[in-house]
Amino acid sequence: MDDHLRKTLVRGYYFNEAMAFYQQYYRPLVETYPSARGTLKDPGRHEDRPPTWVPLVFHCTTEDCIEGIFNDGALTNEKGVVSFTEVPIGELDRMKFRKNPDKHQVAIGFPRRYLERLGLASVLYLKHNPGLQRAWEQIQSRKDCEDILSAVHVLEPFVDKKGDVSAFQEVRTPEPVDVAEAVWVLTTHRDSESGDPIIPGIDNFIRGHGRISRSFWHRTHQMDVLTEGQFTKASKDEHGEITDFEWRGEHYWQKLVHETKELSVTLPAHTREIIFDFTSREKQAGFEGPWRFIDTAKNILNILRAAGEKIEQILPYRLIENLGA
């Protein structure tokens, strides 16, 4: 399998699997967990929601930084730590106003399980706890014990004495983050005519790492995505080998396959040109769907298996271990 296609499929699997998980995340416990149906019998508990664990975490930045991040190929920080938010996609909008609200913002989503392998952890905020501040200073002052100094080196990136952004559910990793592992990019900037997301440097990313899902960053859009059908198109060569694979949410699929034409309509008093919407059979050809996100993830998994890829190696961060053929 072509390496560029392989990267696209892997990223597509992680995105669709995560979105399938988000669909369950926003449903009541009694609809998603078999054990809850037996224990939450009180009607007042039927709207209880699952624990707030999310499949994707986002690094949020401004538009003027994103092209440099793509070109560098990694997220790094001069302070030796990279920050993310665990805010769910339905509440991710709060990140847009943390600073520079007048600038266009970009959020890059990564599989949480990938970042866990880089030492992902929550931040300990000491600003409101003088006792913890004194304890931390005492530990830092111990120059006579090599073990203590080693522990300080490990803990320091996760200790914050001045700030408190716990409302943003901040998590950090001390390791550089490979941008090629990103699976979703959100932006507050979109074309005024087409409505398509504008992300500087995204074409360079796609050329190097394959396609990536892109969306306008707005709560209604993120929540609407969860209710959309997904459409897929697999292109094959004369030998039946997969050469390309596309997936589109219903919103972008409709924009692709629909076209408008002006037709002359004879009215009782006169003839007028009226605009009609059509579906282009040519552009629609080859697309299948609508699928659910879990179906698309399964389809991608089957394509990788059929190509002889070793799933345990190529998808080490997947959430669902037993998604069958």
- If you search the block for the tokens 């709207």, which residue do you land on? 47
Backbone phi, psi, residue 276, to 5°: -120, 145
Rounded to whole angstroms, how far apart are CA atoms 309 and 9?
Answer: 11
Question: In one letter, which amino acid is 132?
Answer: L
Pick the closest to residue 99 from 66, 61, 131 (CA basis): 61
Neighbour-count burial of 265, counting CB atoms closer than 10 A to its CB (0-12 exposed, 13-18 middle, 19+ buried): exposed
Pick the closest to residue 63 from 186, 196, 242, 206 (CA basis): 186
Rounded to whole angstroms, how far apart are CA atoms 285 and 282?
Answer: 5
Rounded to whole angstroms, how far apart are CA atoms 168 and 98?
Answer: 9
Alpha carbons within 13 A on the beta-carbon side of 147: 0
Nearest-5° angle of CA 260, CA 261, CA 262? 135
Q: What is the pLDDT along the chain (325 residues), one digit of tens a residue?
A: 889 999 999 999 999 999 999 998 888 888 888 888 888 888 888 888 877 679 999 999 999 999 999 999 999 876 778 999 999 999 999 898 876 778 899 999 999 999 999 999 999 899 888 888 888 888 888 767 777 777 777 888 888 888 888 888 999 999 999 999 999 999 999 998 888 899 999 999 999 999 999 999 999 999 999 999 999 999 988 888 899 999 999 988 988 888 888 999 999 999 999 999 888 888 888 899 999 999 999 999 999 999 899 999 999 999 998 886 5
